[in-house]
Amino acid sequence: MTKLLKNFIWLTVSTSIASLIIGLIAGFYYRDWKIKNIAYCLPEQISAEAKFEGAAGNIFGTFIIKNNSENTCQIDGKTFVEANFDKDLYTNINLINDGLAGTSIYVLKPQESVYAAIHIPNGPQCSSKIRSVPTTFSYAISPDNSIIFNINNQAKKEFLITACGAAGEFTDVSITNLSDQTSNQQ
């Protein structure tokens, strides 16, 4: 009787482990199949807003990418928001990717958003003159498309980063990875 009970327990545990493994494998394949069958978001399907606020000598901002379409779509999550300015002319701005790149894909249902944060020192740390650096911010939503962020709900795409005038005085601009949660910076 004991041997029969041991065999039954072993068979039950073995079957449970096999079912768990099969379920995990099937779940991963289903997730991958589901993601592969959702189209990338097109630039006209989403909005891209950057909201900035000053606080104690710093500028903090939030980047918001929102699916405004009626369809679920996906965007790449492997990269960071890019600050675009003349890097040959303004050589003393350090762009820092804060954190690791996010999930490989963000699936956005209608009206869902993803976020990133930015921190820009506002210049008082400079011993030299301060200069304004015209900057746009973009994000590669897919291998074929990028978006440029609108600034503070306006139609303008350009933001002025305050940087030190002297080439030896560096301004650090820190941008976080995308997340499906808003930042607590603001």
Tell me, rounded to whole angstroms, the distance of Cα 138 from its chain centroid: 11
What would the two tokens of residue 5 be? 């009970």
- How far is residue 158 from each of residues 19, 23, 85, 107, measured CA to CA in Å? 55, 49, 10, 28
Angstrom distance (rounded) from CA 34 to CA 17: 25
From first to last of the 186 residues of the chain, give the pLDDT tens digit.
566 556 555 555 555 565 555 555 544 444 444 456 799 999 999 999 999 988 877 889 999 999 999 999 999 998 899 999 999 999 999 999 988 877 789 999 999 999 999 998 865 578 888 899 999 999 999 999 999 999 987 778 999 998 888 888 888 999 999 998 876 544
Phi-psi region of 142 (alpha: psi -120 to 50; beta: other; left: phi over 0): beta
Angle at 181 between CA 163 and CA 38, to 5 degrees: 110
Identify the CATH class of 43-176.
mainly beta
pTM to 2 decimal places: 0.76
